[in-house]
Amino acid sequence: MFGFKRSSVQLVVMLAWLLRYYTFGSIVLWSIFACGLSLAVVLAITTYDHDYWTSRGVFSPPAWPVVGHILSVVMFKEQGGMCFKRIYDTYKDKRFLGCHQFYQRTLVVRDPELIRRVCVNDFQHFTDRGFFFNKDVDPLAGSVLFLRGNEWKRLRAKISPIFSPNKLRGMFPLIENTAEEFVTRVKDLLSQSNKVTTKNGTVKPVDQPNGVGNESSVVDSEKLVGATQSDKVATKNGTIKPAEQSNGLGIVSSVVDSEKLVGGYTADAIVPCAFGLKSNVMYNEDDPFAVALHAFYEMSLFNIFEKTMRQFWPAFVLFFRMRIIPKKTHDFFYNIVTSVLRAREEGVQEKRGDFIDMVMALRNDETNNNCKKDQEDVEITDMVISANAFIIFLGGFETTSSTLAFLFLELAANQEVQEKLRSEIREVLARHDGRISYELLQELGYMEMVIQETLRLYPPFPSIQRMCTKDYVIPDTNTVVERGTIVLFPTLGIQRDEQYFENASAFIPERWSEGSPQPPPGVYMPFGDGPRYCIGKRFALIQMKCCLVRLLQHIRITPAPRLRPGANMAPAPGPRLEPFIADPRSPLTLHPADSLVTLSLL
């Protein structure tokens, strides 16, 4: 906002001049002078770096003292990615521009070609992500997500094969079982009311033979749109309260918080793959994994403050030795992993083809082959295994649940897309005798397009960043990006830019169909790009597809009634002109501000 440095100096000189010639001895003007001087000193300190970019010939929008360009994020008025989208949209003529996130110099890159160069061609200048942690305080943060330089490179090379198609095929039954349980869970919840309103308006028990409104009732799909909507909402863990209202069509349905509900599925699907254990987050909000997740994601003021500072002012976090992972969460995951490791080493627990088995095999290989380690190699200790199992768990939980939640909102708002998706599922299932397999998922072309379009409008990481690790001259310019600078790609802004996507705010899966023009490289990157792109991409796709295949065979998703002021969902059917709103309280990742939808049994 202010170009403070020069104006503060001017203010001080002017006051001194006034004092010298007119007011010697005036207590009033002395006080004004003292205030002005203090203000100038404070402003000079809090904006000391704000001319960094302009002094290097890089355009920088006006910034606020202390917080720089992210005042709206710090005040929880805007989600972090939305803030950079706004900056992206405002300065359309710039290839890149300089920003400050607190005192972190940040180069925002608007040009997809340059993004591609940073991520892929010139990766050796940008090997780190720029997330800071202190290994002593936070040993569980020592995973591929946070590690830097050669340490990251070695570990990534070691664990990448775990996510190969072959290994994922082995994990597939674990995910598929959970998807099946999820649908049973949803059906149970929908039937829990034990009563539904029948077509003629009378109330009958669900399991009553010939009850029009029972689970197997066939209802005209057109009449279903916006049909039965309970005025009750989801409970704390996203479970469903009984539907008690009906328009008389005899549909068992209820309003649910889709992000919380589906979060149970994504957590329960990843636990057996990462830890070789069975969790029950779907059913039980006191499940130990649910409690540990709750501790990690708790939206206490301190947590929000700590997360914001960690992201935007890492030096502050390092100085005060703040933990990324709360102690409770750390102890829980470390204990779980070490107990599974010991049980398998002693042969008390059989091998299950999960992450733990694979890293154990890796560790044994290294020990047996007596692999010589240099200083920068990462030894596969219990802590390294725990850290990576933990990050796989978090990655597999949060990103996929928020994507599915946005996807449910879009399916509710776009009934024709939902119907097309359901038809494809039925068709492909029929070709495979009703059996879901890894191969079947690869044949779901339309589903792939729907997921792609969801990730275009709602990338869970709405901005992606790298840290410059070696000075870098931006091609075709004289601008040097200095070591230590964060380089940020405003993915959300680019993916919703009319320049690259016609009718960019609308949800149109067909834009991804074969033969349609595809965006240039560096434009669409919900999973990142280059050597540091998302290691769990294939896993995430399987997890989401399994859920959709199982669910949409039995359940219809329709809009929830507008229950809260400012709610996301417009109750009236019709095309949406704007994407669903993101929750401003989560600075790093994108979540719907309101994820209520109505689920009904088909």
Judged by the rule CB under 6 A, the positions of this chain that interact with ligand HEM are 144-145, 156, 391-392, 395-396, 399-400, 403, 455, 460-461, 464, 526-529, 532-536, 539-540
Shortest Å distance, C-beta 20 to ligand HEM? 57
Q: Which two three-digit tokens encode residue 552?
A: 């949409």
CA dihedral in degrees (187, 188, 192, 198; nearest 10)?
A: 30
Which CB atom, from 80 or from 536, has the smaller least distance to ligand HEM?
A: 536
Q: Phi, psi at residue 59, to the nearest 5°?
A: -65, 135
Q: Which is nearer to ligand HEM, 127 or 229 (CB)?
A: 127
Cα distance from N-terminal residue to C-terminal residue, the chain = 55
Cα radius of gyration (the chain): 27
Is beta strand 464-467 parallel, antiparallel or unpaired with respect to 486-489? antiparallel
CA-CA distance, 146 to 133, in Å (whole number)?
8
Q: How far is the CB of 59 from ligand HEM (least distance, A)?
A: 25
- Least distance (Å) from ligand HEM to the CB of residue 141? 12
- For residue 389, the minimal CB distance to ligand HEM (Å) is 10
Q: C-beta of 272: minimal distance to ligand HEM in Å?
A: 13
What's the burial of 478, exposed, middle or buried (CB within 10 Å: 0-12/13-18/19+)? Answer: exposed
Closer CB to ligand HEM, 48 or 533, in the complex: 533
Of 33 and 132, which has the nearer Cβ to ligand HEM?
132
Between residues 229 and 388, which has the closer beta carbon with respect to ligand HEM?
388
CB of 400 to ligand HEM, least distance (A): 5
| 213 versus 272: smaller Cβ distance to ligand HEM | 272
Q: How far apart are CA 124 and CA 130, in angstroms?
A: 14
What is the b/e burial string over 288-320, where b = at least 16 CB atoms within 10 angstroms of the residue's CB? ebbbbbbbbeeeeeeebebbbbbbbbbeebeee
**Any binding-site annotation on 546?**
no
Task: Report d(CA 385, CA 392) in Å as an integer.
Answer: 11
Smallest distance from ligand HEM to CB 19, Å: 55
DSSP string, 234-273: --TTSPPPPP----SS---EEEEEHHHHHHHHHHHHHHHH
The nearer residue to ligand HEM, 507 or 539, going by C-beta atoms, is: 539
Query: What values do phi and psi take at 277, rounded to 5?
Result: -125, 170
Binding residues for heme: 534
Q: Residues at the annotated binding site?
A: 534
